[in-house]
A = this chain, B = another copy of it.
Amino acid sequence: MIDSTDRLAKVVFQPSGRRGSFPVGTPLLDAARSLGVYVESVCGGRGICGRCQISVSEGTFAKENLVSAADHLDPASEAEIRYATLRTLPADRRLSCQAKISGDLVIDVPTDAQTNRQVVRKRAEAKAIVPDSAISLVKVSISEPDMETPRGDLDRLREAIETASGHDRLAVDPVLLPMVQTTLRKGGWTVTAAIHSDKNSAPTITALWPGEKEAVYGLAVDIGSTTIAAHLCNLQNGRTVSSAGTSNPQIRFGEDLMSRVSYVQMNPSRLPDLTKAVREAVNSLIGKLAGDVGALRSDILDATFVGNPVMHHLFLGIDPVELGGAPFALAASDAMVLAARDLDLELNPGARVYMLPCIAGHVGADAAAATLSEAPHTQEPITLLVDVGTNAEIVLGNKDRLLAASSPTGPAFEGAEISSGQRAAPGAIERIRIDRDTLEPRFKVIGVDAWSDEEGFADTIDSVGVTGICGSGIIEAVAEMYLSGLITEDGVIDGALADRTHRIRQKGRTFSYLIADGDVEISILQTDIRAIQLAKGALYAGVKLLQDKLGTDRLDRIRLAGAFGSYIDPKYAMVLGLIPDCPIDGVSGVGNAAGTGARMALLNRGHRREIEQTVHDIEKIETALEPKFQDHFVNAMALPNKVDPFPHLRAAVELPERKELAQTVQGGGRRRRRRV
């Protein structure tokens, strides 16, 4: 029997037309990469993110001189089966990171938003939401018009719908005017009407279909500054039928929030471009989601949107410049019901939009939605909910009292401001361990299953490379350096250890620690540690301030929202002092909690009232106004903290003895410019 690795198969990628021959057994994603075909993958080839979907074009391709068939890919791996089960992978799609080549293939790389499908965690999916949406359907029949009672068809219909629905007085969306007569006649004088009914807006007939209408949908959207995630839900049974994500195209106006605000400040006439960009991206997602389930855009009648204050404002066409400086005044913070067409959304012309409320100038509707999802306000345990971004949004408390603040962490946790930092993508170091005796590191790279000291790592690393270190990697690196004594609790690299390991190297007046030395040298510099200290110090100080206000250090649960929170190891986050002490098993990532909250508000009006009341009641703390912030910040520069004891952490992890060096951290007390 011939060794399968000796056999080659021809693979052609469409629409680019790039082609090559690959050993049987090569993952399709690797084949694509080697040809420079762009297939997005965020989870590092673990079959989690679902962004690398492709489909096989079957048949005889004379021009390519090959026969392509779906079974020229290996059967689905365990990871792929799991993904398909949880995320309903369409029958004709495969995950290219999992699918291995077993014969000649023509591969279709979708150019649509499908490829940007988000990681939507099972936990969020599983959350039971009792359906009680703002949309109800009523089927009514009316008599044909006659000349004796010359009343408008629409007026007679409205009265029939009022009677059937029990509504006293219904408004009629004017979009129905041009179509009411043809709809009635097409349905033989029987039609299904959609009624939108929610507090603070008049109950309104928003859509009509001839005869019976079965399924209508709603849309829940989380507008992140990097990624826009959307879920399509059946409004009758509350099920999420499709989810998708796409990059926020505003990125071309500025990578982070502050640079987009600056852009508008410098170019006020371009504000509509930023608004248009995000709305167009949402419209493209809508087309994708509807197409996934064979629905029409006009089947979508309601939508909810969440986002941080800048995203919220830009989506609504509001100049965000006031959010760029004190007092960080929001133009509008309360929940709102709007007409989707006023936002240029391509849904049913009568569709409505519910904007979740913003909590404060730096604590947005995304934090409100995450709060709704994690529901600290309904529970006894004291919960800390943190969404780490350029600004950390922090919510702390329980059913008795809830507080919120933001803290200017800056972009270090996202790999920016770090010498070897990069975003979480194949080639990035995401985990790291340092031997306490030899001070040698071992690490794991996104896209490679094996650790760097395991068998098989050398074989596969060449196809991926070691290109940098991502957010979770830098946290583990700094924490392990501290645990192994390479840095002091003040974060200073101990140059004296250069005697024990060649990996400690002098760089000017400070030292660095070498992790990898391949095509790219990856080291942790003193400035990298400083950046992480500043970021985690700011976050911790914000949390600490809320704990002061709450009047207790008791903390039962920590919930880390967002992509970053899903990948960091709670233990290392605590060793670093990024989060306060807490039972370690009380710490967990909650994925896209904001998206879950948006779905809850979409599907159940009670949840809208709940978050409106919660945001009204929540105590908003402005960290910049609190004199104690500075003290907390300085103490939080130390690992894990200058003054806080971290008893749960010490019970679980042996922390090193205190070590004083002649050299001290400089600028540790510097107050950072706020980022929005």
Complex partner residue of A361 from B150, B200, B336, CB under 8 angstroms:
B150
Q: Are A174 and B336 in contact (CB under 8 A)?
A: yes
Tell which of A49-57, A313-321, A645-653 binds the partner. A313-321
Q: Are B330 and A148 in contact (CB under 8 A)?
A: no
Contact of A181 with B331 at beta-carbon distance under 8 Å, contacts A174-B338, A201-B171 already known = yes
Chain B positions within 8 Å of A334 at CB level? 151-152, 155
Complex partner residue of A360 from B150, B328, B339, B620, CB under 8 angstroms:
B150
Q: Are B319 and A181 in contact (CB under 8 A)?
A: yes
* A223–chain B nearest beta-carbon distance, Å: 16
- A549 interface contact, C-beta 8 A: no
Given contacts A149-B620, A150-B622, A178-B317, 15 further A-B contacts (CB under 8 A): A146-B327, A147-B328, A147-B361, A147-B622, A147-B625, A148-B620, A150-B328, A150-B329, A152-B358, A154-B331, A154-B332, A155-B334, A177-B331, A177-B332, A201-B202
Residue-wise, chain A 334-368 has the 8 Å CB interface mask toward B (1 for contact) of: 10101100100000000000000011110100000
Tell me whether chain A's interface is mostly helix, strand or loop, or mixed.
loop
Bound-state Cα–Cα, A329 to B154, Å = 10
Chain B positions within 8 Å of A174 at CB level? 316, 336, 338-339, 342
Chain B positions within 8 Å of A167 at CB level? none
Closest residue of B by beta carbon distance from A362: B150
Q: How many copies of this protein are present in the complex? A: 2
Within 8 A of B (CB), among A170-197: 171-172, 174-175, 177-178, 180-182
Q: Are B177 and A147 in contact (CB under 8 A)?
A: no
Chain B positions within 8 Å of A342 at CB level? 174-175
Chain B positions within 8 Å of A132 at CB level? none
Q: Are A151 and B330 in contact (CB under 8 A)?
A: yes
Chain B positions within 8 Å of A360 at CB level? 150
- A153 interface contact, C-beta 8 A: yes
Q: Are A169 and B333 in contact (CB under 8 A)?
A: no
Q: Which of A146, A152, A181, A358 has the most CB of B within 10 A?
A: A152
Q: Are A171 and B147 in contact (CB under 8 A)?
A: no
Bound-state Cα–Cα, A65 to B499, Å = 104
Q: Which of A171, A330, A361 has the most CB of B within 10 A?
A: A330
- A126 interface contact, C-beta 8 A: no
Q: Are B318 and A178 in contact (CB under 8 A)?
A: yes
